Every structure is written in C-alpha cells, then in structure tokens.
Amino acid sequence: MKVSNELFDLEAFLNRWVQRLAPTWYANQAVRQIALSNIGILNPSSYLAHRWMSLASIVTACEQGLPEKHPVFAPLQPLLQKLLVSKKLDRLLNLTTITGVEVSSQDDKDYASLAHWAVAQSNLPPCSSADEFDALINQHFGKGSTPIKVIYREWDGRYYWINQEEPIVVAAIAKFATEKQREARVKAEIHVESVHEATLERIRQQFWWLLLNREQADTIHALLDAAHLPLVVTNFESRRDDLAFLIAPKHNPRLNRILLTLIQNRSSQEIVEFGRFLGRHHYAFRNQ
C-alpha cells in the first residue's frame, strides 16, 4: 500500500511539473482524454411552452457570465444583444399549428404537444360535429373578438399561445379540425421570434460557443486558465444547471488547436457548437 501511494504521488507530481513546464501541450493532451457526458435533450417536447428551451434566457445568462471590462470578450456582449429579433404580424392562424400554451393548471403531467394533451382530456367542450365546431369558433374567435396572441419561433418551428385561461376551447377546436381535416383559422397577433443570421455568423467567426456538461466545462476551464488562455464558463439555462457554455475567442492559434482537439470525434450528444446548432435549425414563418 505504501509503494502504491508513493507511485500515485509521483504521478501527480510529474503531472503538475509537466503542466507548469508546458501548460498548452498538457492541456491539449488532457482534453483529448477527457470523457464527456451525454447532455440530454436540449429542447424537450411539451404542451407547456415554459418547459421549452428559451433562447432569450440563454442569451441573458451568457451576457451575465461574461467578465466585465475584459477586452477579449468586449465585442461579444453587443452581438448577443442583437442575436434575437422579433416582429409582430397580424394574420389569420390555423389553430392546429399551435404546439404549446403558456398557461395550464394541469402541468403535473406533461404531454408532447397541445394535440396530445387534447386527446387525453375528458372535459373538453362538445365539438364532435361540424355545427359544434363552427359554433365554438364563432363564439370565442368570431366577429368582434380580440385576436389571440401567439409566439412563433423560427429557430425551432414552434408556436405557442399566450393564453389567460385553460386551453380547452382551442384544444377542442384543433382536435376536431385535425381529425376531420378542417381549417380553424382565427385572427391572431403573431410575434415571430428569429435569430439574426448576420449577427450569428459574426459570433461564429469570432468566438467558440461550446455547450457541455458543467463539471467538465469547469475542468477544461481550469486547464486552459493554467495555460493563460482566455476562456470563460457561463450558464446555459436556470432549468439546466448541469450544463454550461465554454466561450473563447478564435484569434488565438494555441487555444483553437486545443478546442479543435476537444471537439474532434465527439458526438453532438456530448458537446454542441451552439452557433452551428442555431444556424442549422431554421423554420421560416409562413402564414398558416
């Protein structure tokens, strides 16, 4: 046992010595060997929109995590502030396109979408005939009614309704319309939430924006900090405190080499280049 402890101490001593002598080389070798955990589902399916991934929350968390007055990261904050844009459109919207809602008292059990939730409900208003269908639409969304307010997210293709009451009427109408292949168009104030593509491209050109397990992000940060390389760890979302971003500038060749080594041959379930993730997911708004 004594010999084993001595060998262990010797190995630790040699590692510390190599790290001090050649920190960049040591970090490059270390990230090659580090095991990364599965980060799980980033944007879960749910009829409750507050359980979806929130890009606005992510941007805010990244902004708050950047070091103040650090010249290397100074250009990133204004880019993050311009990343998410929104425009309001007054349109007719087919209720069958709504994926989720903002408010529901029945959030103890989740469903993949509003349509799945509707199928499981026994207390929906009567809507089993064309007459009942038309009556519900006219009563709740007909002439003189206030347009419903919905959010459409172009970066994941989801609509959600900013509702004040239980979504039983919309669910009943959408359920019937889907089953009978009917349109259920109502007046809507649609807020289209988009990623500003030019801003995203500038972020991708200038910075690494890597998402992975928080514990491993902290380990990698410590390795690169010992090599005096600029890197920060920021939060992902408050609901997923097990994940974190590694953010670093791309103008440093040594740092680039290490981070390329880190992501080489890694699964997207282990590490995500978040800028690339946003760039690859785009569902342009079309009036439906």
Mean pLDDT of 267-287: 92
Rounded CA separation 242/161 (Å): 29
Cβ neighbours for 29, distance < 8 A, ≥ 6 positions apart? none
Q: For residue 220, what pLDDT is reported?
A: 94
- In this predicted structure, the answer to whether residue 17 has a pLDDT above a threshold of 80 is no
- In this predicted structure, the answer to whether residue 6 has a pLDDT above a threshold of 60 is no
Question: Can you read off the two tokens belonging to residue 124?
Answer: 């929906």
Q: Cα–Cα distances in Å, from 244 out to 68, 189, 210, 218, 219?
A: 19, 35, 8, 9, 12
Q: For residue 13, what pLDDT is reported?
A: 46
Rounded CA separation 213/264 (Å): 17
Tens of pLDDT, residues 209-235: 999 999 999 999 999 998 889 999 999
Q: For residue 2, what pLDDT is reported?
A: 44
Kindly give the residue spans of alpha helices, DSSP state H, lying in the chain.
2-21, 23-33, 55-65, 76-83, 114-120, 130-141, 168-180, 197-206, 214-226, 253-263, 274-280
Tens of pLDDT, residues 127-138: 999 999 999 999
Q: For residue 29, what pLDDT is reported?
A: 85
Q: Assign 1 a pLDDT band (cuts: 50, 70, 90).
A: very low
pTM to 2 decimal places: 0.88
Q: For residue 30, what pLDDT is reported?
A: 85
Q: Assign 7 a pLDDT band (cuts: 50, 70, 90).
A: very low
Comparing 27-41, 51-65, 96-110, 260-274, the range with the smallest average pLDDT is 96-110
* DSSP-assigned letters across all residues of 241-270: EEEEEEEEES--HHHHHHHHHHHTT--TTT
